Every structure is written in C-alpha cells, then in structure tokens.
Structure 1
Amino acid sequence: MAAEVRPLLPARAPPGPAALTPDQAYWKTFKNQVLLPSPHNSAVTSITTPTHNPSGSQADVFAVTSGGRVQIFNIKTRKLVKSISRFGLEDTARSGVLRRDGRILLAGGDSGTVQAFDTGSRAILKQWRGAQAHRQPVHVVRWNPSVLTDLMSCSDDRTVRAWDLTEDVAKWTGVGHADYVRSGCYLPEQQSMIASGSYDQTVRLWDSRQQGAVMTFKHAAPIECILPLNASTLAAAAGNEVSILNLTAGRPEHFVRAHQKTVTALSTAQNSRRLLTGALDGHVKIHDVTSWEVVGGIKYSAPILSLAVINAGAEDRHLAVGLQSGLLALRTRLAGSEKVRAKEKEKKMQALLAGEGDEYERKQRKKDLRQGVRARDRGKDFQGEGADIVITGNERSRQSMKKLSAWQRSLRGGEYGLALDQVLQPDDGTVKNAEVVTLVTALRHRSALRIALDGRRAEQLVSILEWCLKGIASPKNVYLAYDVMLVLVDLYSHKLVEWAEDGEEGEEVVRLIKRVQKRVRSGVELAERAASTLGMVQMLEAG
C-alpha cells in the first residue's frame, strides 16, 4: 500500500517570550528605580517601617540604617527627611526603627547602647547602657505593636530584653541562647510574646510574663532573620533556606529552598499573601504563602542585607532593598492618577522623539473633549469569549486532507528549482511569505538549497533577490535570507561583471545586489549603535 501523501507543514517562527503571570505583571509595576548611596558607602543593614497601628493611622516615613547613622525618608516623595548620626565616633548604628506615630526613633549599636531619639529635634530622649543594660552589640530593637512605651532588644551578649520607655532598667530579660542573638520580633496580637533567633541555630519563643523560653525550634544553621506571618506562624531564615514554623502545632510546616546563599532578609507583601526573601546571592524571590512556590524574582548587583515592602495605606508602594555595596535600591509602584500621568508622559515623549508632537497634542485635545467610554476600550472585557476549543485526534478523512499545491508536488518529486520558481512566481501573482519560508527551510534541511539555486539565468534571480532584500529587514527571516545570499554569491559572483554589460536583466541583478549590500551595511551600523547604547545604559545601571 502506498504511503499517504500529506501537505508539508508550514515552518513556524520561534515562539516569543511567554506571557506574564499575574504575579510577574504585578512586580513589573514596581518601576522608576533609584539607587541612593549611603553615607561613606557603608552597607545598608536595616530598612524598617513604623510598627503597625491597630487604629489604622501610621506615619508616612521609613528608616534606613547604614554605618553610623539612621536616615528617615518620606514614603510619598522618596526624599530624605532627617538624618540622625548621634552615635559614638567608633560606634555603628543598628536596626533603626520608628514608632508608629513617627515621633520617636529607636536604634541599637555596636557599643551595646540602646537609644531613643526625638525625630523632630534629633535629641536623645533615653539611653540604656552600663551594668543594667547590654554589654555587647545590639543588632535588633523593635517597638511593641500594641503599647506605645514598650520595646525589646536582642544582643550579642545572648540575651533578649524588654524595656519601658519611662524606666532605666529592663523589666524582663530572656536568658537561654548560647550564641549571638541577631534577630527578634513581637508576635502580632500578643503584646507579651517575643520571638528571637540566634547563631546557636535556635528560634525561641518567650513570654515576658515568665522566665525561660516557652518553645524552642532547632535548625541546621545560624538564624539570620525572623518574621511573623500571623499570630501563629513565623518565618525563620537559617542558611540558604527559610523554615515556616507553626507555633500552635510546635513544628515546622514547610521549608522554602530557593536561594544559593544565605538568606539575610524577609518581608511580606500584598496583604501578607506573598513572602519576599533576600539573600547574599543578590536575588529577591517572591513566594506564594499558600503553596510556597516562587512566583517572581528580581536580581540585584550586590549581596542583599536588608529588604522591606513599604506600604502607603493598604497598598504596596515601594520595594526597598539594602545592598552590601552601600546602595539603597528603591522601586516604586505607581497607582491611580500617578500611573495615568506616567503613561501619558511616556506616550508624549515617544511622540516627540518620532517628530509627531503636534499630532499628539491634537489627538489629546480631541480626547479631552470626548465623553464616556473611549471607542478603543469598548468591548475590551469581552475579547476572547465565545471561542470554541476543539481537540482533534488522528482522523485522516478525505475532507480534512488538503490537496498538495504545485510547489509542494514539485518538492516531493525532487524538482527543487521548479518548486522555488513556483513559490516565488505564483500563478495569481501574490507571493506568500509563509510558503517561501517553509520551502527554503525544507531545502536547507534536505541540503538542496544549492541545487535549487544553481544553473540560473540573470532574469531568474530577480525574484529571489527581491525576497532576500525583504528578508534581511525581518528579524524572523534574516537567517534564511543570509543562507540564500551566501549560496548566490558563491555561485554567481564571477558572472556579475558579465551581467552588468549584458543588458537590462543583468543590470537589474547587479542593482539588487547593491541594494542588499547597502541594507546589510545599514543594519550593521544600527547594531553597533545599539550595542554602544546598551553598554552606556548598563554602566548607568551599575552606577
């Protein structure tokens, strides 16, 4: 029985980039990145926002700690508001954090001193130091989310302490860690519960109304950072993994392994539906807190030491990342009227660059006069509806089989030159680029391209050169046009002088070859300029 003859499948261009997922689209809206150098290029070790206020009001500032000072930035403008540097000459500030009303800044230091500053006057309101305080560096200080005058601190002296702003000595001390305590926090909705993470590879849960740890979780690496996800769940970064601890069940629920190096910073976003992790590998990974899968990521140029998603009201406003190189990277998410203005500004700039500024202004005036829904947006929400999804099997009915076209029959019979002529000079006079691409691709695969192009007269090369001229300008077809031109030059370069003197057909071939040469040279120049521009942009980004 003879084999079934089926039409040659059309060649398809390589697929473009995959469509963005909702999470990827969301995090791509964090744009307008600014890189702010820290004083003396000191590493940015802490980024904090005011503690959450149950009443809903919150100061519109955030604190950034680097070197010997704490800088306060405005959330709305991203501008520096205050800089507090009243630390010792050899002291290093740690963990600057603002109270929820923004009036008092709390900070630790390598000297072991815990200080409270008035953010208005920069005056020191309170200092805890000496025999009744910490004697080694204090890396973490935090305000109680419920009580305005309560705070806590964690120190390298292996203790966790709770303080009252009006008292000189600690009202509670947690003793039990065997190494530096470098992370700590209050648990939400439980003003007496404190969690701490230590380099002794444990996370301990404390009740400040009693002595001794209530619960201990042992890990395989030192604890760099802890973050409460809710009243009963805690995230702890140990080495290059993050453990999700269930405080009610007293066991880890899940281990998040997405980084190659130590995880140093944690933050939540999208109303605690996403967990962000930053690490020394320079990556920020976004995780879904339901499945714990990675749903997005951002790469930075240096190891990450601190990370925070800064909110404006109920929405995520900024993604702030502190780098070991001394840079604070701020990405801002525009929303509402700001987003509309930014988009209009971008369109106007594109119109000006294209020399169509007057036309753009005219269209804008007409747009402002229109009322109601714009015509181009009408029905936009219904695109794609009503489409049927049909899954076919391996049916081979005669009705579903298409007849072979003339060039496909010639290709099947091995008449490669005739097939090329038929596809470039069809009976109806309309050259279909998809068919040309399919045929040339098939000839390359069969190593028959040279056979199809050999032995031709000058007038038979005109249609081929015209297609090559168009193909060079198309990124999808340039590689095929290149192969065809390479074979043509090899076969007919010795005849160009003869054709140039022969007559009209020969002159047309020479003219087309010169046009191809000119277009290639123009493309090379554009590519060189693009590469040069890309290099300058990369230098600006690195700076």
Structure 2
Amino acid sequence: MTSFQPLNIRRFQQKAQVVTPDTIYWDRLAKPELLKEHTTIDYIDFSPSEPSNFVLTCSVRVQIYNLVTKLVVKNLSRFQKTAYGANFRQDGRLLAAGDEEGHVKIFDTTSRNILRLFKGHKAPVHRAFFTADKLQLASFADDKSVRLWDVANEKVVQTYEDAHTDYIRAGAMHPQSSHMFISGGYDGKINLYDTRAEKAITHTLDHGSPVESMLFLPNGSIFITAGGTQVRVWDLISGSRLLTTMSQHHKTITCLSLGSDGRRLLSGGLDRHVKIYDVSTYKTVHTLTYPNAVVSLGVAAKDQAVVAGMVDGLVSIKRMIVESKPSHLKKIRVSYRKQRLQKMARPATGVPVDHVVSDKSKGNKLQKFDIHLRKYNYKKALDCVCTPLNVKKHPEMVVAVITELQHRGALQAALTDRKDITIIRFINFLCKHLGEVRFMRPLLNAASAVMDVFENNAFAYNKPMIAALERLKRTMKSEVELTCQLLQIKGALEMIIGGALDNNESSTNHSYTQPIPTKMHPSKAASSYIVIVD
C-alpha cells in the first residue's frame, strides 16, 4: 500500500521573480547609509584615483567625503553664491566647479587652494569638464554659451555664443579625443563640437525635451542623453544617428552614470527610481528605489558603492558587499563528505557497489491538515488550515485544502452544521482572494458550495451573516462586470489589429480600390460579450 501523499501547494504559489545574474549582483548592495545636507544635492562625482573619495556639490559648499568613514575630508567653501557641478580631473588631482556668479574655479584637492579662476560667463555655470588631455576645460552656462578654457594660461580658447536658445545644463567630453565634446540645453537640442573643424558645431540633434544629463561610453563611439522621461542612445560613428530610445521612467530623468567599467548604465529620476541598463542590449536589468526624487548620481570604481543625492538634501550611500573566498575549512568538509560516501558505498564484503539509494521517507513530514485528510476528518482539516496566519500570509495552503475537498466531494459536508463565525470567516476569505487569477476557479466553485449549504440547510440569518452574504454578492458581481469589460476591450483590440493587418496587406499588394465594409455575423459579434461562470 502506498503512503499518503501530501497536498501539492506549489501550484497555487505566485510565480517567483526571474532571478538573473544582475539581480544577484546588485542585491549585494548593503542597506543605505544616509547623510543629510541642507538643500538639493546638485552633483556627485567619484575620484578616479585612490582612495575612492566622492565630492558633493550642495548650496555654497563643495565637500569631499571619504567613502569608508563617511566623514568630510575637504571642505571647499570658497563660494559667495551657489556652487554647481564639482567634478574631478581624470587623475584626481584637480577639481573644477561652476557657480551662480558665472565663474569657473579649479581647486587643488590636496591643499584646497584655488589654482585658477575663469571669468567670462554672464550667467550661472552649471557644468564644467576637463578635456581628455587634461589641458583644457569646457564650461556650459545659462547665458546660452559654451566656452573652452586653457588651464595653464587661464585664458579662453574658444567661445561658442548662442550655441543654444535656452539654458545649457548638460555637457560631456569625449573620453579619448580632446577636441570633441557635446552640449545639451533646455531647448531640447544637442550640439556636437569639433575644435579642429572650420564650423565648430558639426551636428545639431533633437532630443525632444530639455536635456538634463549626458555622457559618452568609454570607447567614445556612442553618447547617451537624458531628458524628459527618455534616455536616447546616439551613434557618433554613423553620423550621430539615433540607435534606441529607453522610456523606463514615468517622471523626468535628472542624471546618468556608468557602472561595471562601462558595461552598465544607471539613470536616476524624479520618480524615486534608479534604473540599471545593460549597455549591450539597452534593456533594464535592475531597479533601485529611493525615498525621494533622485537628482544626482555617482558610482564608484568597480561598483564599490552607489551614491544618490535627492531633492531634499538626503544622500544615500549603498556599498557593495564583498563575498569572502571559500576557506580551507570548506574544502576539508567537502573531502570528508566524499570519504563518507565512499565508505557507505562499500558494504561489509568490501566489494564496491554502483549506487547507494538513501531512504528519504523519514524526512517527509505531513502537515496537520494532511493528517486530518488522511483520517477523513474534513471539518478538522478545514479548521486547521483556516488559521489567521495562513489566511494572511499563506492563502495558497487554504486554497489547496479547499481544492482537495472539492475533488473528494466533501467541501459541502465540511461547511454543514458549522457555527456562524466559521461560515463568516470562510466567506471573508472568498471575498478577499476571489479576484486573484491563481485562486479564481477553485474559489468560484467554493462560493457555489457555500450557496448549496445555505440552500439545503436552515440557518439563523443574523445581521453578521447577512452582511457576509452581501459582501460575497458584491464581490461576485464586480468580478462578472470586470470580465465583461475585459472581453469588450479584447473585442475592440481584435477589430483594431484586424483593420491594421488589412491595411498592411492592401498596401503591400498596391491595391488602390476602396474595400467594401462587411457586416459581422450577429452570432460572432455577440460571442465576444458572453460571460461563462462555472
């Protein structure tokens, strides 16, 4: 005689989220460590040299923090008005920042001294970046101009007046070529500059919305722009054509950053999310959620940390948890396990066997409701599974028992001659989970069984019982109405798709005759709106 098999609860469990290598990797980010500044965090940048310090630009201060201790290493407060966009040079020895007065200042990160002060812009300078050869600096300002400065001589090399028709809030330098860079303005335009060409602005592209951030990929052949709710990817080699558009945010995208040595792209937005994309496919591989709108973002080298600045001055620091390598003790355990299996495979005769069949039946313990089902105690099985804990956190267990009772034809017997509170608790469970797709069919049958119980037995219809039955009635009615609406939408979509396919076929066949509309058969038209309730 075969042993009693426990109920299969797994078929009613929700589908698990698809676990990808990126999900496992980015889930290693530890719980955020928070810093609080006074106002909005304008810009975050990591030092390319060791140690991996990061700089925060906030109000009239530019502060360099230590990633490990979260303490301020340098405080550059030589600003009369708001500072913007402080970022490191490629070697980490210098730091450039713009300000509200229209100046660009270059600091020595070791001594905090101002080495250069560039004056010439007539409006706030929001971004300033060093060129690839470290000899020049480009500044992007609200006076709609872009200026190229010589760091050594402290003089302007080139001025691009009226490069845009609105504020210029974004720019990026080519990572390998020192004579190429791009700018993005609130007019939605993207300008490409080549200082060697007679016409400095070689291309002008349209992003479609105000450009908030932009960057080049490490090889320099592709650049990415962010503005509105879209991230756009452009191919510089093939004439700056648009490669793809990503619309994963539902509010304005404010910042971009690269991670995993340029293999991952991160975008932060006002919707409190940071989306992580695979640069090879431009598909979203992970999402980070923050307590407020994200306006600045920085990723440390080798993904040591992800730092996000928010609109309320909160700074979130998520450090990557480094997994330790397997120790020699683990190797000893593995070798000991192999030796034990080899001993098990050698019986007393000393002759080795091909395979050892282990008895796992002892570890297969039955649940309490399984024990009651084995003894045909259906009421006790239902009472045992309908505990508040199971109803709240494990509804799949309750539905599995209900389904088993239905298969045995015993659900009606399990609900007969019960107290009112038991019937009301069962009806409440039906009303709560009837709309879930995984539970809908068995719970509809269970609701039918409840009505059969009331039809065949006499009940004292008190107020709580009548209220429970009214709830069940409303739930059933709303599900039927929802099904009707979905079927109507399905029918409308089928007509739209069918019309589109007919138009495509007529265009491919070069048919210029007007198609004669055909009338749908009444039976086919009505079949789209029939609701079948088991």
Which TM class, normalised by the smaller chain length? 0.5 to 0.7
- Post-superposition offset of 1:316: 1.2
In the alignment, residue 246 of structure 1 is paired with which amino acid?
D
Matched residue type, 2:57: T
Following superposition, the deviation at residue 422 of structure 1 comes to 4.3
Kept in 1: contact 2:252–2:271 (CA 8 A): yes
Alignment of structure 1 residues 57-136 onto 2, 5 Å: 60-88=52-80, 91-129=81-119, 133-136=120-123
1:221 matched to 2:204: no
CA drift at 1:43: 0.4
CA drift at 1:289: 1.5
Say which SS state the counterpart of residue 285 (structure 1) adopts. strand
- Displacement after TM superposition at 1:444 (Å): 6.0
Task: Say whether residues 1:163 and 2:149 are aligned partners.
Answer: yes
Q: Which residue of 1 aligns with 2:510?
A: none
Aligned residue number for residue 247 of structure 1: 236
Do structure 1's residue 375 and structure 2's residue 372 form an aligned pair?
A: no
1:371–1:268 distance in 2 versus 1, CA, 3 Å: closer
Q: Take 2:273 and 2:95, find their aligned partners in 1: how far apart are those partners?
A: 30
**TM-superposed deviation, 1:331:** 0.2
- Give matches, 1:255-404, under 5 Å: 255-311=245-301, 315-337=302-324, 370=329, 372-375=331-334
2: CA distance, partners of 1:122 / 1:308 = 22
The count of corresponding residues between Structure 1 and Structure 2 is 374
Verify the 8 A CA contact 1:310 1:319 in the aligned structure 2: yes
How far apart, CA to CA, are the structure 2 residues paired with 1:376 and 1:137?
67
Q: Secondary structure at the match of 1:32?
A: coil
Partner of 2:178: 191
Q: Which amino acid aligns with 1:223?
A: V
* Cα displacement (A) at 1:168: 3.1
Counterpart residue identity of residue 294, structure 2: I
Residue pair 1:159, 1:181 contacting (<8 A) in 2 also:
yes
Distance 2:54 2:415 in 1: 70
C-alpha distance in 2, partners of 1:126/1:197? 25
Q: Distance in 2 between matches of 1:245 and 1:205?
A: 11
In structure 2, distance between residues paired with 1:37 and 1:77: 15
Q: 1:239 to 1:440 in 2, by over 3 A?
A: closer
1:409-461: CA deviations, max 9, x gaps? xxxxxxxxxx9674459xxxxx9xx99985543436999535246579xxxxx
* Letter matched to residue 121 of structure 2: H
Q: Is the 1:420–1:452 contact (alpha carbons within 8 Å) kept by the matching residues of 2? A: no
When residues 103 and 423 of structure 1 are mapped into structure 2, their CA distance, relative to the original with a 3 A threshold, is same
> Out of 188, 195, 216, which is 1:208 matched to?
195
- Within a 5 Å distance, the mapping from 1:466-485 to structure 2 comes to none
Q: 1:83 to 1:246 in 2, by over 3 A?
A: same
Contact 2:305 2:318 in 1 (8 A): yes
Q: Which whole-Å CA distance do the structure 1 matches of 2:271 and 2:300 have between them?
A: 23
Unaligned stretches of 5+ in structure 1? 1-6, 341-366, 380-418, 426-430, 457-479, 495-543
Q: 1:238 to 1:443 in 2, by over 3 A?
A: same
What is the CA distance between 1:66 and its match in structure 2? 0.8
Q: How far apart in 1 are the matches of 2:50 and 2:92? A: 8
| Matched residue type, 2:172 | C
Residue of structure 1 in register with 2:35 after alignment: 36
For residues 81 and 435 of structure 1, the distance between their equivalents in structure 2, rounded to whole angstroms, comes to 56
- Contact 2:52 2:300 survives alignment (8 Å): no
Per-residue CA deviations over 1:388-414 (Å, capped at 9, x if unaligned) read xxxxxxxxxxxxxxxxxxxxxxxxxxx
What CA distance in whole angstroms lies between the structure 1 residues aligned with 2:309 and 2:13?
39
1:442 to 1:218, Cα distance in 2 relative to 1, 3 A: same
Letter in 2 for 1:216: T
Deviation for aligned residue 1:49: 2.2
CA distance 1:49–1:375, shift in 2 (3 Å)? same
Residue aligned with 1:334, SS: coil
How far has the Cα of 1:17 moved from its partner?
A: 3.3
Cα offset, 1:196, TM superposition: 0.7
Residues 284-305 of structure 1: CA deviation (Å, up to 9, x unaligned):
1111112211111011111111
- Given that 1:306 and 1:322 are in contact with CA atoms closer than 8 Å, whether structure 2 keeps it comes out as yes
Seq. identity, %: 35
Q: Could you say which residue in structure 1 is the equivalent of 2:346?
A: none
TM-fit CA distance, 1:318: 0.6
Structure 2 CA distance for aligned equivalents of residues 47 and 435 of structure 1: 49
**Structure-1 residue corresponding to 2:225:** 236
Counterpart of 2:234, as a letter, is L
Matched AA of 2:84: R
CA distance in 2, matches of 1:436, 1:85: 63
AA matched with 2:171: G
**For residue 317 of structure 2, what is the amino acid of its counterpart?**
L
Kindly tell me: are residues 202 and 58 of structure 1, through their superposed partners in 2, closer, same or farther at Cα, counting changes over 3 Å?
Answer: farther
Higher alpha-carbon deviation: 19-28 or 209-218: 209-218
SS of the residue aligned with 1:374? helix
Normalising by the residue count of structure 1, what TM-score does the alignment of the two structures yield? 0.61
Distance across 2 between alignment mates of 1:447 and 1:127: 87
Deviations 1:452-477 (A, max 9, x none): 46579xxxxxxxxxxxxxxxxxxxxx
Residue 461 of structure 1 corresponds to none
**Mean alpha-carbon deviation: is it higher for 14-23 or for 59-68?**
14-23
**Alignment partner of 1:170: what SS?**
strand
Residues 173 and 37 from structure 1, CA distance in 2 versus in 1: closer, same or farther, beyond 3 angstroms?
same
Deviation at 1:102, TM superposition (A): 3.0
Opposite residue 85 of structure 1, the aligned amino acid is S
- State the alpha-carbon separation in 2 of the partners of residues 171 and 184 from structure 1: 17
Correspondence for 1:351: none
Secondary structure of the residue aligned to 2:156 is: coil
Aligned partners of 1:95 and 1:107 also within 8 Å:
yes
1:246/1:326 CA distance change after superposition, 3 Å: same
- Over 3 Å counting, the alpha-carbon distance change for 1:450 and 1:225 in structure 2 is same
Give yes or no for contact 1:201–1:218 (8 Å, CA) kept in 2: yes
Report the counterpart of residue 477 of structure 1 in structure 2: none
Q: Which residue of 1 aligns with 2:137?
A: 151
- In the alignment, which of 23, 42, 46 is matched to residue 45 of structure 1? 42
Change (3 A) 1:204 1:334: same
Q: Distance in 2 between matches of 1:301 and 1:447?
A: 51
Task: Name the structure 2 match of 1:27.
Answer: 26
Letter in 1 for 2:46: T
Question: Residue 226 of structure 2 aligns to which amino acid in structure 1?
Answer: A
Structure 1 contact 235–245 (Cα < 8 Å) conserved: yes
1:449 and 2:411 correspond:
yes
